[in-house]
Amino acid sequence: MEDLYVEIAQQLSDMGIDKENISWSTRLTLIALILLISYIITKLFRHLVIPAVHKITSRTKATWDDYLFNERMMTSFCRMIPPIMFYLLLPFVFNNIPQVLDILLKGCLIYLVITTLMLVNSFLNSLYEISNEHETLRNRPLKGIYQMINLVAIGIGIILIISILIDQNAATILAGLGASAAVLMLIFKDSILGLVAGVQLSANDMLRPGDWITMPKYGADGDVLEVSLTTVKVRNFDKTITTIPPYALVSDSFQNWRGMRETGGRRIKRSIFIDMTTVHFCSEREKEMFASRGWIDETQTKPGVQVVNLYVFRNYLQNYLKEHPRTHKELMIMVRQMQPTSEGLPLEIYCFSNTTVWPEYEQIQGEIFDHILAVIPEFGLRIFQRPSGNDLTNTVSL
């Protein structure tokens, strides 16, 4: 740096300019010259260096350099050129006016700190875009971590600006802030909790953008849009947006449906209630009819072999679900009796569809139970249903 100053001083001396005794007209001319030099260097960087860097990165096979040296990053570099040039050249203009020079140099340093913070922000945004393109990092909630790093950088920048303004060492200011740590923790409580929660969510792979989660306490039932430092945005199925603090997802319980989507099947678990008065041993005619349809084998049609119509119906449903083209054959398929109740005998259908798309799932489930309700009279069974007003009216009229 000293060599640079000596060289510039020598050039000014050769031009007949004494830096110890500069007139205001010469001073204004030098200021205009500094502005012109800064403008030219910035333009050269923008129109020569940036296109050259873009051309180099476009020829590489990697994609990370395209994000790391994108237009936003290079523009942030351009913003740092003027304060650097001003800081280097202004001492030669105001060498004999130290008060003005001190103010101008402080302004240059503050300007440089601000542009550096803008560069850090652009860098973190580029890192976030790179992580979104990466196969492994794409589904990690990293945005909150990047936001916390950016917040820390802004805090450091503010401390540096204060230290520049009051001519104090930044370390001294940091030591003074230690006494007010409790106040700072109270102010940034949500940010600190959000950072810790974001790390836990990411490390344990508890939540990813795009996951379907259910959290009744906060009225959330939909897909995760974004996991940031202070909020998790969930788009509910009614298209409303619910925001949840990240630390609530760690401290409270929520249901994540990602496993269902990864499995490729969604569970169908629903019961029908059989009128228990219709459960009986099959007559010989019923056994012959069931055998002709392939619902029981020939050994069960022999005289003296007792077969219950509900048993035949359960076996029929089991085979029907196994042969259904839209059930997931690699997951559990089961038809089971539940504890009898005053509403009848529950017969539960337990299987999985071969799709997780909600409309298709509902269509498959509806198709299965439409068939069950339509075929159950063939077995001499009846669905239990509370009598309605119309049933009572017909009974009285009879």
Does residue 177 fall inside a structural domain?
no
Tell whether 221 and 278 lie within a shared domain.
Answer: no
**Tokens matching residue 14:** 């050769």
> Is residue 193 assigned to a domain?
no
Give the count of domains, the chain: 3
Q: Residue 182 domain-assigned?
A: no
Q: Are residues 346 and 324 in the same domain?
A: yes
Q: Is residue 95 part of a domain?
A: yes
Clarify whether residues 273 and 324 are in a common domain: yes
Domain CATH for 283: 3.30.70.100
55 vs 175: which has the higher pLDDT: 55
Looking at the fold, whether 15 and 146 belong to one and the same domain comes out as yes
Q: Which of 244, 260, 276 is the last residue of a domain?
A: 260
**Within a domain: residue 287?**
yes
Confidence class for position 392, pLDDT limits 50, 70, 90 = low
DSSP single-letter state for residue 252 = S
Taking residues 361-367, report their average pLDDT. Answer: 94
Tell me: do 217 and 81 sit in the same domain: no
Contact yes or no for 80/118 (Cβ under 8 A): no
Domain match, 31 and 144 both: yes
Give residues with Cβ within 8 angstroms of 255, minimum separation 6: 213, 214, 215
Q: Do 18 and 155 reside in the same domain of the chain? A: yes
Please report which confidence band the pLDDT of residue 137 belongs to, taking 50, 70 and 90 as the band edges: low
Asked if residue 191 is part of any domain, the answer here is no
User: Do 280 and 251 share a structural domain?
Assistant: no
Average pLDDT, the chain: 81
Whether 353 and 362 have beta carbons less than 8 Å apart is answered as: no
Domain finish residue from 221, 236, 260: 260
Q: What is the pLDDT of residue 329?
A: 92
Identify which has the larger pLDDT, 92 or 80: 80
User: Do residues 149 and 294 share a domain?
Assistant: no
Q: Pull the structure tokens for residue 43.
A: 């333009």
| Nearest by Cα to 369 from 292, 273, 257, 282 | 273
Specify whether 291 is located in the same domain as 385: yes
30 shares its domain with 153: yes
Last residue of a domain, one of 260, 280, 311: 260
In a domain, 10, yes or no: yes
CATH number, position 254: 2.30.30.60
Of residues 163 and 347, more confidently modeled: 347
Q: How far apart, in whole angstroms, are the C-alpha atoms of residue 194 and residue 148? A: 9
User: Letter for the amino acid at 49?
Assistant: V
Mean pLDDT score, 323-330: 93
- Where would I find the H helices in 167-292? 170-177, 181-187, 189-203, 246-251, 258-263, 284-292
pLDDT beyond 80 at 319:
yes
**Owning domain of residue 76:** 1-168
366 and 335 in a common domain: yes
Residue 196, in any domain of the structure: no
